Amino acid sequence: MRLFLHPVLWIGLFSYYHQACALLEVFEVYQPISVASDGHHQCAGEERVLVDYDFGNSYSLPYVGFYEPPRCKFDTVHINLTVTSKGRQYDRLAIFYLGDTELWRTSTAEPTSDGIVWTYLKDMSQFNTLWKEKQKIIFDLGNIITDVYTGHYNTTLTAYFSYEDNVKTPDAILPISARRSVQNASSDFELPSDNATVLHRFPPNTSRAVVSIAATGQSTEEFWWSNVFTSDSWSFDNTIGELYGYSPFREVQLYIDGMMAGVVWPFPIIFTGGVAPGFWRPIVGIDAFDLRQPEIDITPWLPMLLDNKTHSFEIRVTGLNISEGGAVTFSDTVGSYWIVTGTIFLYLDESAPQFSPGRKPISIAPPPKFTATRNLVQNAAGGNETLIYSITAQRTFTVQSTDHAWSQNLSYSNYGTLNQQGLSQSNLQHTSGRNQLIGSKVLNDVTFDYPLLCNQTYNLDDGLTISAWMRRGLDIEATEGLGISTYTLTSGPLNLHTEQMGTAFYQSTSNNSASYGETKDVFESDADGVSYSREVHAVNGSVVYDTGN
């Protein structure tokens, strides 16, 4: 990832003086897990160091290794990722694969001159069927070293195995990916340039099927939530140049045999170089170390899919086009670029009632309801001074078979303003929704809420200065589902509320750059009956209050 604070205002990273010689511990506030077993079921001595590698000049050169499963019986896999870095460097996206299947998407923190370290622990048991076979490991962390950007990412990834009488996890896993592990390459698709379509044949005894979607905007799409209508891309070309278009709305779509199976309205992830770097040290942004993968249940499609034939699965990403008259349509494309993969989790049951093969589900998919407003105000000299725009969206979608129905009810709004001839921008965005799978009863019910308010003001008189403030959050309520969700990150019910708020300042001249800020992070969660809360307050790179310590 490149540090992206505003369209065309690509800036160098700041150097930050840290008093202590010890490595600064950077962290994400999340509900912790333990890699240790609580009893004699631990596979003692059977942990696996999956990755031990220094990512220097590593663009298009992922780490490649090989995994051998432990010799003990296990149903639980926890991993420990520990990374150190020193110098100056951009934040980077990283993806961990077993073969062609993405297991985890994470990102890096930006280092200091004295060095940083972070550790993240994650439950990977959802992929047990892969862990029980020999695998090729691909860990893709694209980094570039120059005379200015000197930070390597020294990375260690270790897996721990135990038997905990865990929940049932998928019996088979199929990737929606470019399947390039045979070439020792990352298997992500890049949209819109790639065609993210694969073919798969399902086992005839499949009783449940769930697709997880990993989709991340990069480059001109990293801050998609601050984009403008394409017609306004050059509204302030005399001050800040091109603004990125296709509106601030994005929809990630899943198609089966060319028919829509469900959608994802993405969470606005902000990486550690985003908006202003001073926000994100030592507390990184929500989910920056563990990007959630929303799920679409495709069980209603099983009567059609269990015909012993191959079927296509495709992921698309779209923005919006807005006409001069205010009509809103899907653009069917976006800027450059989105990194996407998908994973199909299959649960098999020989005793389950057999579906009548070949029968398509019934789809109830009325067109989404959009509204758009836009007002460009000129100053007394005739130049463009202020752009005010908004998008609202609502979508309902249902697909049902004889035995199951998958439904979505989604709502979105974004109110954007650029004033001071484009040098100040604010966006107030709100995304919410509910996804349900219903059989003879409600089998899974997930509601979510993503509020975001961000303001950035730039001054170009002497170098570059940025003053920014933000408030953002993530709320999820979910019932117990099947397996370990790649979205809720737990096997049981979840009630999660987390929010971040803060201010930050960045200054860059020809000789120096610096960033500082203040961030508060509030986290409250009840995951599978286990409660956890933490509140942290950091000022200028140091924690001043932390209920978790």
Cα Rg, the chain, nearest whole Å: 23
> Which of these ranges, 61-65, 228-232, 460-464, 474-478, has the smallest mean pLDDT?
460-464
Q: How many helices (H) and strands (E) does the chain have?
A: 2, 31
CA distance 432 to 392: 12
Over 50: is that where the pLDDT of 313 sits? Answer: yes
Task: Give me 308's structure tokens.
Answer: 């012993």
pLDDT at 6: 38
pLDDT at 353: 67
CA distance 418 to 229: 12
Identify whether the C-beta of residue 96 lies closer than 8 Å to the C-beta of residue 104.
Answer: yes
Q: Which pairing describes strands 116-123 and 24-25: parallel, antiparallel, or unpaired?
A: parallel
pLDDT at 3: 33
pLDDT at 42: 72
Over 90: is that where the pLDDT of 40 sits? Answer: no
Identify whether the C-beta of residue 317 lies closer than 8 Å to the C-beta of residue 253.
Answer: yes
CA distance 318 to 253: 8
The predicted model gives 345-350 an average pLDDT of 93
The predicted model gives 472-493 an average pLDDT of 96
Q: Which pairing describes strands 362-364 and 384-400: parallel, antiparallel, or unpaired?
A: antiparallel
pLDDT at 496: 98
Element spanning 478, H or E: strand 464-478
DSSP, collapsed to helix, strand or coil, labels residue 313 as strand
pLDDT tens profile 368-414 = 999 999 999 999 999 999 999 999 999 999 999 999 999 999 999 99
Determine whether 333 is exposed, middle or buried from the number of CB atoms within 10 Å of its CB (0-12, 13-18, 19+): middle
Q: What percentage of the chain reaches a pLDDT higher than 70?
A: 94
Q: What percentage of the chain reaches a pLDDT higher than 90?
A: 87
- pLDDT tier for residue 9 given thresholds of 50, 70 and 90: very low
Task: Give me 459's structure tokens.
Answer: 């001054």
Whether residue 192 has a cis bond before it, omega within 30° of 0 = yes
If you write DSSP's letter for every residue of 118-130 in order, what string do you get?
EEEEEE-GGGHHH
C-alpha distances in Å from residue 493, one per residue of 208, 220, 458 = 19, 36, 44
CA distance 501 to 471: 4
- pLDDT tier for residue 252 given thresholds of 50, 70 and 90: very high
The DSSP bridge partners found for residue 515 are 506
**In this structure, what DSSP letter does residue 34 have?**
-
pLDDT tens profile 170-194 = 999 999 999 999 999 999 999 999 9
**In this structure, what DSSP letter does residue 324 have?**
T
Task: Give me 87's structure tokens.
Answer: 């110098």
Q: Which amino acid is at 5?
A: L
Q: Which amino acid is at 50?
A: L
- pLDDT tier for residue 355 given thresholds of 50, 70 and 90: low
The predicted model gives 458-471 an average pLDDT of 92
Q: Where are the alpha helices (DSSP H) in 11-167?
A: 128-131
> Residues 356, 357, 359, CA angle at the centre, nearest 5°?
85
How high does pLDDT run on average in the chain?
A: 93
Identify whether the C-beta of residue 161 lies closer than 8 Å to the C-beta of residue 46.
Answer: yes
Q: Which amino acid is at 498?
A: T
CA distance 12 to 514: 10
pLDDT at 356: 67
User: How many Å separate Cα 261 from the centre of its chain?
Assistant: 20
- pLDDT tier for residue 289 given thresholds of 50, 70 and 90: very high
If you write DSSP's letter for every residue of 370-436 in order, what string do you get?
EEEEEEEEE-TTSSEEEEEEEEEEEEEEEEE-SS-EEEEEEEEEEEEEEETTTTEEEEEEEEEEEEE
DSSP, collapsed to helix, strand or coil, labels residue 536 as strand
> Which residue from 333, 252, 246 is spatially nearest to 291, judged by alpha carbons?
252
The predicted model gives 154-175 an average pLDDT of 96
Nearest 5°: phi and psi at 205?
-100, 25
pLDDT tens profile 427-454 = 999 999 999 999 988 889 999 999 999 9
